[in-house]
């Protein structure tokens, strides 16, 4: 796509001809290979080409949709609502191509209202779409409308992090001079999702020395979180390795050895200053994989076992936990026949 953009500019062709070629390409965009074409070609299209391309898609949207006679319709599948016909799929594809093209053209022309018009009122309330709309309104200096677009979606939000929505709302509040509300939104985002980025943004806007007290409160919140994996990930990456090690040692029984994507980086982060905590994270993954016969993980488990052996040399007191020698003997007793390990 980047090569095509450069070639089109270098060719210095007629803008309307470029627009006609783009029109045909977008109609044939069955695999998304021409996604982003309007943006890529906008320098070559210029105002004349973009307007010509817009008019062609508007004209296409007004053409009646052809519907074959019932006996000529071709079934290509079934859904819970009944048969799926080839002409239905073709018409949906055409509608999608037109909407996407008109949105991209509106973006290239800097026409925010035309961009918004491509979404119906309900679709505008989808958080991701609302964020896209609000970003464009902000860029156009229409912060109040941006916040209105964002806040209209509040009731539709899921429990999952939607950081694009969060960030756009914060930006809208800042643009309106509502810095205290923006700070409250950053803190809430940290509390709900343990977002380190939002906490850092929050802290750097505080007066000198206030940030130390607030950071302590934030780390207390993370340490007391019910979800151990989230808490460990945040504390290890902040970094607050002392707190992460303390939490891991106090809640070892809750560790989930299947969460290697959590425990591996946590063990790496703690191995330097807290070798015992790192060892317990590694042992949890080792035992889970062997107990459940996850043979595809054995090469990683073997590496974890070697890391445990290395860390044992710098652990002066294993406390209530077994030594490395005892742990190794236990593994041999339970899993000695697993030759691949």
DSSP 217-244: HHHHHHHT-S-HHHHHHHHHHTT-HHHH
d(CA 64, CA 285) in angstroms, rounded, equals: 61
Across 156-170, 185-199, 277-291, least confident range: 156-170
Q: Quick one: pLDDT at residue 80?
A: 77
Q: Quick one: pLDDT at residue 181?
A: 98
Segment 5-31 shows an average pLDDT of 93
Residue 79 φ/ψ, nearest 5 degrees: -135, 180
Q: Quick one: pLDDT at residue 30?
A: 85
d(CA 276, CA 284) in angstroms, rounded, equals: 12
Q: What own/partner pairs with CB < 8 Å and gap ≥ 24 does 295-301 have?
A: 295/338, 295/340, 295/341, 297/260, 298/338, 298/340, 298/341, 300/260, 301/341
Residues 178, 243 within the same domain: no
Asked, for residue 232, whether it belongs to a domain, the answer is no
Which residues does residue 77 pair with via DSSP β-bridges, in sequence order?
84
Which H helix or E strand runs over 76?
A: strand 75-79
Does the pLDDT at position 89 exceed 90? no
Residues 108, 186 within the same domain: no
Asked, for residue 136, whether it belongs to a domain, the answer is yes
74 by Cβ neighbours in 10 Å (0-12 / 13-18 / 19+) ranks as exposed
Asked, for residue 23, whether it belongs to a domain, the answer is yes
Asked, for residue 305, whether it belongs to a domain, the answer is yes
Boundary (domain end) residue, out of 224, 253, 278: 224
3-state secondary structure of 83: strand
Segment 138-148 shows an average pLDDT of 97
156 by Cβ neighbours in 10 Å (0-12 / 13-18 / 19+) ranks as exposed
Tokens (6 digits) for 56: 């062609």
Q: Quick one: pLDDT at residue 154?
A: 67
Residues 182, 280 within the same domain: no
d(CA 126, CA 304) in angstroms, rounded, equals: 44
Domain interval for residue 197:
120-224
Asked, for residue 324, whether it belongs to a domain, the answer is yes
Instruction: Say if strands 82-85 and 75-79 run parallel, antiparallel, or are unpaired.
Output: antiparallel
Taking only the tens place, the pLDDT of each residue in 93-107 is 888 899 999 999 999
Q: Quick one: pLDDT at residue 339?
A: 86
% of the chain surpassing 90 pLDDT: 80
| Cis peptide upstream of residue 180 (ω within 30 degrees of 0) | no
d(CA 46, CA 14) in angstroms, rounded, equals: 10
Per the model's pLDDT, the better-predicted residue between 161 and 137 turns out to be 137
Asked, for residue 39, whether it belongs to a domain, the answer is yes
Segment 221-230 shows an average pLDDT of 96
Segment 143-167 shows an average pLDDT of 86
Residues 112, 127 within the same domain: no
Residues 131, 197 within the same domain: yes
Segment 336-341 shows an average pLDDT of 88
Residues 91, 30 within the same domain: yes
3-state secondary structure of 82: strand
pLDDT band for position 274 (cuts 50, 70, 90): very high
Decide: pTM greater than 0.85.
Answer: no
Asked, for residue 139, whether it belongs to a domain, the answer is yes
Does the pLDDT at position 158 exceed 90? no
Residues 126, 109 within the same domain: no
% of the chain surpassing 70 pLDDT: 98
Q: Quick one: pLDDT at residue 8?
A: 92
Q: Quick one: pLDDT at residue 290?
A: 96
Residue 336 φ/ψ, nearest 5 degrees: -60, -25
- Non-local (6+) Cβ contacts of 89 within 8 A are 76
Residues 299, 255 within the same domain: yes
Asked, for residue 111, whether it belongs to a domain, the answer is yes
Across 21-35, 55-69, 165-179, least confident range: 55-69
Tokens (6 digits) for 212: 């130390």
Domain count, the chain: 3
pLDDT band for position 156 (cuts 50, 70, 90): low
60 by Cβ neighbours in 10 Å (0-12 / 13-18 / 19+) ranks as middle
Per the model's pLDDT, the better-predicted residue between 130 and 74 turns out to be 130
pLDDT band for position 260 (cuts 50, 70, 90): very high
Does the pLDDT at position 229 exceed 80? yes
Residues 108, 136 within the same domain: no
Residues 179, 280 within the same domain: no
272-303 core/surface letters (b: 16 or more CB in 10 A; e: else):
eebbbbbbbbbbbbbbbbbeeebeebbeebee
Residues 165, 214 within the same domain: yes
Residues 37, 146 within the same domain: no
pLDDT band for position 86 (cuts 50, 70, 90): confident
d(CA 221, CA 212) in angstroms, rounded, equals: 14
Q: Quick one: pLDDT at residue 83?
A: 73
């Amino acid at each position: 796509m980047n090569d095509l953009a450069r070639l089109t500019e270098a060719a210095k062709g007629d803008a309307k001809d470029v627009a006609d070629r783009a029109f045909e390409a977008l109609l044939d965009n069955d695999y998304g290979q021409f996604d982003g074409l309007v943006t890529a070609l906008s320098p070559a299209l210029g105002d004349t080409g973009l307007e010509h391309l817009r008019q062609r898609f508007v004209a296409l949207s007004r053409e009646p949709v052809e519907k074959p006679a019932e006996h000529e319709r071709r079934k290509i599948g079934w859904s819970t609502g009944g048969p799926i016909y080839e002409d239905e799929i073709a018409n949906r594809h055409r509608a999608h191509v037109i909407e996407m093209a008109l949105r991209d053209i509106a973006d290239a022309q800097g026409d925010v209202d035309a961009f918004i018009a491509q979404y119906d009122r309900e679709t505008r309330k989808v958080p991701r779409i609302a964020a896209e709309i609000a970003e464009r309104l902000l860029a156009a200096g229409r912060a109040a409308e941006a916040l209105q677009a964002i806040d209209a979606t509040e009731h539709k939000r899921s429990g999952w992090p939607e950081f694009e929505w969060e960030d756009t709302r914060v930006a809208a509040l800042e643009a309106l001079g509502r810095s205290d509300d923006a700070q409250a939104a950053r803190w809430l985002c940290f509390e709900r999702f343990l977002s380190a980025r939002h906490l850092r943004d929050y802290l750097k806007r505080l007066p000198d020395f206030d940030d130390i007290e607030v950071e302590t409160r934030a780390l207390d919140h993370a340490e007391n979180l019910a979800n151990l994996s989230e808490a460990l990930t945040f504390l290890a990456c902040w970094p607050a390795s002392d707190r992460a090690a303390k939490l891991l040692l106090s809640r070892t029984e809750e560790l989930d050895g299947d969460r290697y994507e959590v425990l591996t980086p946590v063990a790496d982060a703690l191995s330097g200053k807290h070798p015992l905590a790192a060892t317990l994270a590694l042992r949890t993954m080792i035992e889970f994989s062997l107990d459940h016969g996850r043979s595809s993980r054995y090469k990683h488990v073997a590496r974890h076992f070697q890391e445990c052996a290395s860390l044992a040399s710098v652990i002066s007191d294993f406390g209530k936990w077994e030594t490395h020698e005892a742990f190794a003997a236990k593994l041999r007793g339970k899993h000695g026949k697993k030759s691949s390990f």
